[in-house]
């Protein structure tokens, strides 16, 4: 049972309704995560703000964005985000095997993607700290300082949603991610 129940567009606070409606249009339905965030206009606006900033100014392709989300979601054991980003990862061109490998931290199919997901995983696990060997491996794989700075925005956005889901007890309304040991 959720700690913060899901609102509908009709029951959401007035200050949250427009953003909730926008997210509903964007996603095709009002997802439980957004319906929970709608309880607080500041929470839904913060989520929307970082999402819009990434969309407007980010340089990563969908495949990279989803890989980071999957790595961070797995590191934080967020069932909701792992399920949601498994769906969007498929839409971004990742195969089921690649999605599982990313979640498991065993990315052997793309060295550059492996490097950035390891940065994301380590940053999520170590309160933003990334070891020098992991950072250098990302540089050696071809990531620039600008891209590594941008990666932080993606990591932070996913930490925000992972933590909100844990905090609120968001009920899964997306397909569950397949188990890693299947």
Whether 175 maps to a domain, the answer reads no
Counted residue by residue, the chain has a size of 182
Look at residue 181 in the predicted model and tell me its pLDDT.
79
Look at residue 182 in the predicted model and tell me its pLDDT.
54
Token representation of residue 147: 């891209």
Q: Write the pLDDT tens digit of every residue in 3-49.
A: 999 999 999 999 999 999 999 999 999 999 999 999 999 999 999 99
Whether 162 maps to a domain, the answer reads yes
| Same domain as 70, residue 28 | no
Long-range residue pairs from 16-22, CB within 8 A, at least 24 positions apart, any chain: 16/40, 16/41, 16/44, 19/44, 19/45, 19/48, 20/44, 22/48
| Same domain as 136, residue 73 | yes
Confidence of residue 77 (pLDDT cuts 50, 70, 90): very high
| Same domain as 163, residue 108 | yes
Whether 81 maps to a domain, the answer reads yes
Whether 179 maps to a domain, the answer reads no
| Same domain as 84, residue 164 | yes
Per the structure, the complete domain to which residue 80 belongs is given by 62-168
| Same domain as 20, residue 36 | yes
Whether 182 maps to a domain, the answer reads no
Kindly tell me if the per-residue pLDDT of 85 is higher than 90: yes
| Same domain as 68, residue 49 | no
| Same domain as 30, residue 73 | no
Domain-ending residue, one of 37, 57, 77 = 57
Overall number of domains in the chain: 2
Look at residue 1 in the predicted model and tell me its pLDDT.
85
| Same domain as 84, residue 53 | no
| Same domain as 141, residue 89 | yes
Q: Write the pLDDT tens digit of every residue in 120-165.
A: 999 999 999 999 999 999 999 999 999 999 999 999 999 999 999 9
- Going by C-alpha positions, the residue among 91, 92, 149 that lies closest to residue 116 is 149
Residues 6+ apart with CB under 8 A from 45: 19
Rounded Cα distance between 163 and 85, Å, is 15
Kindly tell me if the per-residue pLDDT of 171 is higher than 90: yes
| Same domain as 124, residue 90 | yes
What mean pLDDT do residues 63-86 have?
A: 98
| Same domain as 125, residue 67 | yes
| Same domain as 47, residue 103 | no
Rounded Cα distance between 123 and 119, Å, is 6
CATH number at 114 reads: 1.20.1290.10
Task: Tell me the pTM.
Answer: 0.96
């Amino acid at each position: 049972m959720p700690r913060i129940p899901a609102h509908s567009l009709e029951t959401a606070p007035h200050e949250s309704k427009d953003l909730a409606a926008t997210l509903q249009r964007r996603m095709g339905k009002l997802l439980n995560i957004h319906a929970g965030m709608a309880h607080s206009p500041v929470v839904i606006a913060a989520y929307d703000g970082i999402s819009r900033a990434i969309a407007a100014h980010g340089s990563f392709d969908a495949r990279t964005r989803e890989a980071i989300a999957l790595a961070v979601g797995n590191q934080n054991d967020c069932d909701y985000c792992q399920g949601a980003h498994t769906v969007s990862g498929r839409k971004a061109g990742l195969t089921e095997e690649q999605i599982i490998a990313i979640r498991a931290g065993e990315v052997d199919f793309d060295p550059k993607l492996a490097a950035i997901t390891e940065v994301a995983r380590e940053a999520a696990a170590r309160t933003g700290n990334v070891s020098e060997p992991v950072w250098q491996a990302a540089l050696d794989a071809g990531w620039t300082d600008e891209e590594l700075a941008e990666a932080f925005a993606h990591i932070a956005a996913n930490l925000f949603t992972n933590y909100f889901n844990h905090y609120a007890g968001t009920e899964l309304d997306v397909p569950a991610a397949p188990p890693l040991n299947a």
